[in-house]
């Protein structure tokens, strides 16, 4: 098998994943196609149309495919590894389709549901309140059936289960996420000192891969559309141009003191306090 490190493999995610070995990935991050079947009417932002895939499967087939993809990702991930899966609640003919419907049928333990407050909604029609949020599921591959896993390191003390930042606007791909998203995850989950392997099976414009590279990790991308691979490779080549964005994101929630030290000082312990949120907002205002 050819060297898998720091490459983007072209093809269908499920077919390519099936060719990869067991237990070699440390972390995964992705946003799959959402199977939204959007029509023009009522949409505030431009429709998401991918170059090489239709995003219009019958819903049952879509969910089955996502379960298979997620189980392949589970197989290739080391025990103790994590996968972050960005998706959203959708409706079909008034029927709510929650990602939990299929996530719960995979092998992964669902460690947390994170709300991504994008502060903007796509649909201007008034069937329900403005949907400004998407979800990010932290999935975990347990060691010896222990679904709790390890305690987080101190550097996450300012992060809550609601992540508030806007969608990406400065990218020609039809549905990229901002580099803040994978940066926050990689910085929070992986130790900076060792080179780990990060996968994105729907790599698109390569946002996860660029963040991985800048944070000194190895990456593997899978993507079906050649133009997006070309664009992602250009981004990877010029990755240093995005260094500032990464540094800004890390500075937002960097905490040097351990939980123990902060506890001894009576700071940031117990339930999440309003002043922590204020601190993040004031940091954001100073930096952006």
Closest distance to ligand SAM from the beta carbon of 53 (Å): 4
x-or-dash string of contact with ligand SAM, 163-202, rule CB under 6 A: ----------x-xxx------------------------x
Please, are residues 161 and 137 in contact by the beta-carbon 8 Å criterion?
no
CB of 188 to ligand SAM, least distance (A): 18
Identify the residue among 109, 225, 239, 255 touching ligand SAM (CB under 6 A): 225
Contact 150, 262 (CB under 8 A): no
Q: With respect to ligand SAM, which residue has the nearer C-beta, 157 or 236? A: 236
CA dihedral 85, 105, 115, 196 (to 10 degrees): -30
Count, residues in the chain:
288
Q: For residues 221 and 268, which CB has a smaller minimum distance to ligand SAM in the complex?
A: 221
Strand order in the sheet with 162-164: 7-10, 218-223, 197-200, 25-30, 77-87, 133-140, 109-117, 162-164
Environment class of 241 (CB within 10 Å of its CB; exposed 0-12, middle 13-18, buried 19+): exposed
With respect to ligand SAM, which residue has the nearer C-beta, 52 or 148?
A: 52
CA–CA distance, 60 with 40 (Å, rounded to integer): 23
Does position 224 interact with ligand SAM (CB under 6 A)? The reply is yes
Q: At what angle do helices 243-252 and 207-214 cross, to 10 degrees?
A: 80
Q: Which positions from 31 to 60 touch ligand SAM by CB under 6 A, shown as an x/- string? A: x-x----------------x-xx-------
Select the span of 88-96, 153-161, 204-212, 243-251 touching ligand SAM (CB under 6 A).
Answer: 204-212
String marking each residue 8-27 x if it binds ligand SAM according to CB under 6 A:
----xx--------------
Q: For residue 204, what are its two tokens?
A: 């698109």
The least CB distance from residue 273 to ligand SAM, in Å, is 33
Cα 12 vs. chain centroid, distance in angstroms? 19
Q: Which of 236, 262, 252 is nearest to 285 (CA)?
A: 252
Report, in Å, the least distance between residue 181 CB and ligand SAM. 8
Residues that bind ligand SAM (CB under 6 A): 12-13, 31, 33, 50, 52-53, 173, 175-177, 202, 204-205, 207, 222-225, 228
């Amino acid at each position: 098998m050819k060297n898998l490190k720091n490459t983007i493999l072209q093809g269908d995610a499920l077919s390519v994943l099936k060719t990869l070995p067991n237990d070699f990935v440390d972390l995964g991050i992705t946003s799959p196609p959402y199977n939204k079947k959007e029509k023009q009417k009522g949409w505030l932002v431009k429709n998401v149309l991918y170059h090489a895939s239709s995003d219009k499967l019958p819903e049952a087939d879509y969910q089955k495919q996502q379960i298979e993809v997620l189980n392949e990702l589970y197989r290739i991930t080391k025990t103790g590894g994590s996968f972050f899966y960005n998706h959203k609640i959708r409706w079909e003919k008034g029927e709510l389709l929650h990602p939990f419907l299929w996530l719960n049928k995979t092998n992964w333990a669902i460690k947390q549901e994170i709300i991504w407050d994008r502060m903007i909604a796509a649909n201007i029609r008034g069937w329900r309140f403005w949907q400004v949020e998407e979800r990010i599921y932290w999935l975990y591959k347990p060691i010896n059936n222990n679904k709790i896993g390890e305690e987080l390191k101190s550097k996450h003390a300012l992060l809550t289960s609601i992540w508030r930042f806007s969608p990406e606007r400065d990218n020609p791909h039809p549905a990229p996420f901002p580099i803040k998203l994978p940066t926050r995850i990689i910085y929070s989950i992986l130790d900076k000192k060792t080179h780990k392997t990060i996968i994105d099976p729907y790599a698109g414009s390569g946002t996860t891969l660029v963040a991985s590279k800048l944070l000194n990790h190895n990456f593997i991308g899978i993507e079906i559309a050649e133009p997006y691979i070309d664009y992602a490779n250009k981004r990877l080549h010029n990755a240093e141009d995005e260094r500032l964005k990464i540094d800004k994101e890390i500075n937002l929630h960097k905490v040097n003191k351990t939980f123990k030290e902060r506890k001894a000082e009576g700071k940031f312990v117990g339930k999440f306090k309003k002043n922590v949120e204020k601190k993040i907002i004031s940091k954001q205002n100073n930096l952006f």
